[in-house]
């Protein structure tokens, strides 16, 4: 059975627009023709031509409506038939009026006939990408036919004074029609030029003048269709070191570097049946016909060589390299999306194996490689897409049995991969530099959420080593607190030993600036790095968090005496330095009793409370019974 809906979907968007307009216009015009028949029948004077032609026109229009409704693919035939019928009607009606009527009635009918002729020109010239050149030729032919009939009449009645007025009217109407046709053609040419320019811009990356992703994919699609037996190499190119140039010398210099890189790639592909595109940021794509995988690999290495030559930018030379991923059709895919995705995966492997290299895609890259590449790409947009959330885990004062803090923990729900562990995506964000804006987003969201919590509760936020090395980090914290309206004393920033030990002097200075703002500073995972008890004296800290590996030893066993001694010493030092000590990873009552006996200040762990979203945190009845142990801090009320 014929599926009209499916046939309609096979039309282009422009053809569908034509069809919709005609489906509305045809029955309306048929109704107008029918009304004309009724009016003519009631008129005292009517022509035999109109009595015959109008019913035929109405019937034809309804037939065309039915054809267009049931056969959407007949659009071109319908338009051609419509223009042909209209053109024939105008020519025949003009000839009839001139030879079988006379007087003022002829002039009135003549004006009505000529009035509709420009409509043919509008339909066939002004509509963007008219449906068929046949319709345009028919419209011009009908105009020429009417001109021939008019010229013939004027020539035959040159010596007839009574026909002078009609001849003058024919001349004026003919000249006005020619003038209108010329204007319409000129205007249509301008519209078509604008449409071509808009199409070019829609497929062009403006900063570099190269194709954008859409234009490049369309070009590759045409190349793949044009030579089914021809292999094509698809290269995904990432410029190593572009971010440094862009940050140090500004966006204008960065754009100049991108233009030069795009020009080098274009020269490589020009004349060889290939095309280059800038995909965004510092990423380019290139395709080129090749003889096989070895040829494609050689092309990737040529691209590396071409792009690593120095760039003269504003009188200074800059060096950047490229990580290139290579895929080959039809082995790695038969469509642009699949080939580009394969090349993208290979590029990530090239980047992780030292950069400045071309890496050939192979299915052996496997699911793990694909997952990593997907996460590295998608984490860049996770916040704007609403995929990131914060969960909060409470921390309890083990002496007063009051909740004193909550730690903000970042969670990512990927639309395809589901829940992604922070241990998996945080290193990717750090490697790509995305951790700075991502960390700022976390801090801003946590400070905003903290305003819904009791006024004495502190919110703790983890800080990456990359963030701490940013010289503007203290100003970022100041701005976040100002924008969110949170008191500085209610924000605690947690840093690992690794972050502090990279550059102790610089880290100490930054921590001093943060504490000057009134923000609390915590050393996280103490005991897993190189920080000694004596070094705590030199660092501007408020809190020390004991790593969970030590807390685990408090369950008993050979490690318990050492851990008790270490914690005892740490608590003594903390008392002298006025530091708060937090035990992480509390999971059972034995650990809780041991920490309480040692005099540990604050505890955190699944025993006391699991990480939950803000709404659940606010609705958690922390004063509900938590178990038989009287020492369990989770029995207390949320402060």
What CATH number is associated with residue 441? 3.20.20.450
- Taking the whole predicted model, whether its pTM rises above 0.85 is answered as no
In a domain, 47, yes or no: yes
Instruction: Tell me: do 234 and 327 sit in the same domain.
Output: yes
Instruction: Tell me: do 347 and 475 sit in the same domain.
Output: no
Q: How many domains does the chain have?
A: 3
Instruction: Tell me: do 505 and 603 sit in the same domain.
Output: yes
Instruction: Tell me: do 304 and 438 sit in the same domain.
Output: no
In a domain, 92, yes or no: yes
Structure confidence at residue 627 as a pLDDT band (50, 70, 90): very low
pLDDT digits (tens, 9 = 90+) for 205-234: 888 889 988 889 989 998 988 776 789 999
pLDDT digits (tens, 9 = 90+) for 12-49: 677 777 788 888 888 888 888 778 777 766 666 667 77
pLDDT digits (tens, 9 = 90+) for 489-541: 999 999 987 778 777 888 889 999 999 999 999 998 887 665 666 677 888 99
Chain position carrying tokens 């005292």: 44
Q: Are 373 and 348 in contact (CB under 8 A)?
A: yes
Label each residue of 142-188 as H, E or C: HHHHHHHHHHHHHHHCCCCHHHHHHHHHHHHHHHHHHHHHHHHHHHH
Instruction: Tell me: do 188 and 252 sit in the same domain.
Output: no
In a domain, 146, yes or no: yes
Across 184-188, 464-468, 557-561, 617-621, least confident range: 557-561
What rounded mean pLDDT belongs to the chain?
Answer: 82
For residue 489, what pLDDT is reported? 94
Which tops the pLDDT comparison, 163 or 332? 332
In a domain, 382, yes or no: no
Domain boundary among 202, 234, 269: 202
Instruction: Tell me: do 413 and 333 sit in the same domain.
Output: no
Q: How far apart are CA 34 and CA 40, in angstroms?
A: 10
For residue 635, what pLDDT is reported? 42
Average pLDDT over residues 630-638: 39
What CATH number is attached to the domain comprising 262? 3.30.70.270
Instruction: Tell me: do 432 and 400 sit in the same domain.
Output: yes
Average pLDDT over residues 425-438: 87
Q: What percent of the chain has pLDDT over 90?
A: 30
- Of 519, 522, 517, 516, the residue nearest 539 (C-alpha): 522
Which tops the pLDDT comparison, 422 or 363? 422
**Angle CA(6)–CA(10)–CA(11) in degrees, nearest 5?**
125
Q: How far apart are CA 541 and CA 514, in angstroms?
A: 10
In a domain, 396, yes or no: yes
The total number of residues written for the chain in this structure: 639
Instruction: Tell me: do 157 and 241 sit in the same domain.
Output: no
Pairing of strands 231-240, 321-329: antiparallel
Return the structure tokens found at 250: 């500004």
**Which residue range is the domain that position 350 belongs to?**
213-361
Instruction: Tell me: do 414 and 352 sit in the same domain.
Output: no
In a domain, 379, yes or no: no
Domain boundary among 147, 179, 202: 202
For residue 2, is pLDDT > 60? no
Return the structure tokens found at 570: 């740490």
In a domain, 582, yes or no: yes
Burial 495-512 (b: 16+ CB within 10 A, else e): bbbebbeeeeeebeebbe
Instruction: Identify the H or E element spanning 396.
Output: strand 388-397
Instruction: Tell me: do 480 and 451 sit in the same domain.
Output: yes
Instruction: Tell me: do 42 and 135 sit in the same domain.
Output: yes
Average pLDDT over residues 253-281: 90
Domain boundary among 152, 176, 202: 202
Structure confidence at residue 131 as a pLDDT band (50, 70, 90): very low
Instruction: Tell me: do 537 and 451 sit in the same domain.
Output: yes
């Amino acid at each position: 059975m014929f599926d009209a809906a499916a046939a309609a979907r096979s039309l282009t968007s422009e053809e569908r627009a034509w069809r919709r307009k005609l489906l509305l216009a045809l029955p309306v015009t048929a109704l107008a023709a029918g009304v004309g028949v009724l009016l003519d029948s009631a008129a005292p004077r009517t022509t035999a031509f109109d009595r015959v032609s109008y019913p035929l026109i109405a019937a034809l229009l309804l037939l065309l409506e039915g054809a267009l409704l049931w056969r959407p693919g007949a659009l071109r035939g319908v338009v051609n038939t419509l223009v042909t019928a209209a053109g024939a009607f105008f020519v025949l009606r003009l000839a009839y009026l001139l030879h079988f009527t006379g007087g003022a009635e002829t002039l009135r009918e003549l004006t009505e006939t000529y009035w509709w002729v420009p409509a043919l020109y509008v339909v066939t010239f002004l509509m963007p990408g008219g449906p068929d050149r046949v319709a345009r030729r028919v419209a011009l032919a009908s105009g020429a036919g009417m001109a021939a009939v008019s010229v013939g009449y004027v020539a035959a009645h040159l010596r007839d004074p009574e026909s002078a007025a009609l001849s003058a009217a024919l001349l004026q109407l003919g000249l006005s029609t020619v003038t209108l046709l010329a204007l319409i053609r000129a205007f249509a040419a301008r519209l078509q030029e604008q449409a071509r320019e808009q199409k070019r811009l829609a497929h062009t990356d403006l900063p570099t003048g190269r194709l954008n992703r859409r234009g490049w994919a369309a070009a590759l699609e045409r190349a793949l269709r044009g030579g089914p037996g021809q292999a094509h190499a698809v290269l995904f190119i990432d410029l190593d070191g572009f971010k440094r140039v862009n940050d140090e010398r500004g966006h204008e210099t960065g754009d100049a570097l991108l233009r030069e890189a795009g020009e080098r790639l274009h020269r490589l592909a020009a004349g060889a049946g290939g095309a280059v595109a800038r995909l965004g940021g510092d990423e380019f794509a290139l395709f080129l016909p090749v003889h096989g995988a070895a040829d494609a690999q050689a092309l990737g290495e040529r691209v590396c060589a071409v792009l690593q030559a120095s760039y003269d930018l504003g009188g200074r030379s800059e060096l950047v390299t490229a990580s290139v991923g290579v895929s080959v059709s039809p082995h790695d895919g038969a469509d642009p999306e699949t080939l580009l995705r394969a090349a993208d995966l290979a590029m990530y492997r090239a980047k992780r194996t030292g950069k400045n290299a071309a890496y050939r895609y192979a299915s052996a890259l496997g699911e793990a490689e694909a997952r990593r590449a997907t996460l590295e790409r998608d984490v860049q947009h996770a916040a704007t897409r609403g995929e990131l959330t914060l969960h909060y885990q409470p921390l309890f004062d083990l002496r007063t049995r009051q909740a004193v803090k909550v730690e903000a923990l970042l969670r990512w729900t990927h639309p395809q991969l589901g829940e992604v562990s922070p241990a998996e995506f945080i290193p990717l964000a750090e490697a790509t530099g995305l951790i700075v804006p991502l960390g700022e987003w976390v801090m801003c969201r946590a400070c905003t959420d903290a305003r819904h919590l009791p006024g004495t509760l502190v919110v703790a936020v983890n800080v990456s080593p990359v963030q701490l090395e940013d010289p503007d980090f203290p100003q970022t914290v100041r701005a976040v607190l100002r924008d969110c309206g949170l008191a500085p004393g209610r924000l605690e920033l947690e840093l690992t030993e690794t972050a502090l030990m990279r550059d102790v002097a610089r880290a100490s200075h930054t921590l001093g600036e943060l504490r000057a703002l009134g923000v609390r500073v915590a050393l996280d995972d103490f005991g897993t790095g190189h920080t000694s008890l004596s070094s705590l004296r030199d660092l501007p800290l408020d809190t020390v968090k004991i790593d969970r590996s030590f807390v685990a030893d408090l369950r008993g066993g050979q490690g318990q005496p050492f851990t008790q001694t270490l914690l005892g010493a740490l608590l003594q030092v903390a008392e002298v330095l006025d530091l708060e000590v937090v035990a992480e990873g509390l999971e059972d009552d034995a650990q809780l009793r041991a920490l309480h006996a040692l005099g540990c200040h604050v505890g955190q762990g699944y025993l006391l409370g699991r990480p939950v979203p803000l709404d659940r945190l606010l609705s958690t009845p922390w004063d509900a019974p938590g178990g038989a142990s009287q020492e369990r801090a989770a029995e207390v009320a949320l402060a």
